[in-house]
Amino acid sequence: MKVTIICGFLGAGKTTFLKHLLQESSARTAVLVNEFGEVGIDGTLIAASSSNVDMIELPNGCICCSLKSSLVEAILEINQSLHPDRLIIEPSGLSAPSSIVITLKDQAIADFVELTAVIGIIDGPSFLEDWDSENFGSFFRDQVTNSDLLLINKTDLMTDELLQRTIVQVAILNPVAPIIPTQFCNAELPEVTGHHFGEHHHFRADLDSLSLSISEEVFYAVLSDLPRRLEEGYLGRIVRAKGILLTEQGWINFDYVNGRWSMAPYSGLIETGKAVFIGKALQKSLLAELFSAVDIG
């Protein structure tokens, strides 16, 4: 079973890239998604975009640390019950890929697993700022040095000067992997012949998460006003927020990262609304009250 890992920090564009990848794939494919929270948003979006993929989710934890044994068990089950030609692993935006690579060498799965590539998605507009702040330095060093192909995403939000400085810094960290600037993770990918192991760092982000189950309809105006509330800071220091909610204008998929906000209609099948907030000093009761939601983690 050939395995591809798609890694990237919170909101970099992993799910967008994965949806492109699945549209181009003809092999029998399974996707294993790990999210930092009790509810899975990415898995729902991926499943809605492709009917020819088997989706498996490992929520509420990090497969590079607390869920290592769960990852091995999940891969065993995928191989035995689904028999895919290809497995794509999308770890959470806080997972160090080197630890996942090491886990794939576990003797329980090593005989039938072949790691073909680690693809790193970089949030272009914020990478240098995050790198220079050193808040997540060990994560980025692990991610970039272990990637066999690197996409600098969201170049439409970057100046030429910022893009060039980002390319230089990424190339210093990893002089081997091809570096491809992209918008919405849309690019023709060169063939990658095999994985090279980079540096190994144990990364543990000091971040908390809130997962909400939202059964009632949410006013569209309340949702569209959410970025203003997040920026004011009284709900906590929100690094990432995403969800799928029912409004009077239909189901809406919202996404917030690094001050950037988007809303789009959602046409998939979903029984109840859900949202995830990741950050520090989260005011969980206020966030839940905002949506009349049930806090599930």
Residue 230 lies in a domain: yes
Residue 153: both structure tokens together? 């995403």
Residue 214 lies in a domain: yes
CATH code: domain of residue 113: 3.40.50.300
219 and 175 part of one domain: no
- What is the predicted pLDDT for the residue at 256? 95
- What is the predicted pLDDT for the residue at 78? 92
159 and 58 part of one domain: yes
How many residues are listed for the chain in this entry? 297
- Which residue in the block uniquely carries the two structure tokens 């060169």? 190
- What is the predicted pLDDT for the residue at 111? 95
Spatial contact of 122 and 166, defined as CB atoms under 8 Å apart? yes
- What is the predicted pLDDT for the residue at 71? 87
- What is the predicted pLDDT for the residue at 66? 46
- What is the predicted pLDDT for the residue at 51? 59
**Complete DSSP assignment for 226-277:** HHHHHHHSTT-EEEEEEEEEEETTEEEEEEEETTEEEEEE--S--SSEEEEE
Residue 198 lies in a domain: no
60 and 124 part of one domain: yes
Spatial contact of 182 and 158, defined as CB atoms under 8 Å apart? no
Residue 8 lies in a domain: yes
Residue 140: both structure tokens together? 């980025």
- What is the predicted pLDDT for the residue at 133? 74
Alpha carbon 215 to its chain's center: 25
Report the chain (297 residues): mean pLDDT per 10 consecutive residues.
94 91 83 74 70 73 56 91 93 87 93 95 94 79 94 97 97 96 92 83 78 90 93 93 94 92 90 92 92 59
169 and 246 part of one domain: no
How many structural domains comprise the chain? Answer: 2
Residue 151 lies in a domain: yes
65 and 19 part of one domain: yes
Alpha carbon 164 to its chain's center: 25
Spatial contact of 58 and 71, defined as CB atoms under 8 Å apart? yes
Alpha carbon 74 to its chain's center: 18
User: Taking each helix axis from N to C terminus, what angle separates 160-173 and 124-133, rounded to the nearest 10 degrees?
Assistant: 60
pTM confidence score: 0.86
Q: Which domain holds residue 227?
A: 208-295
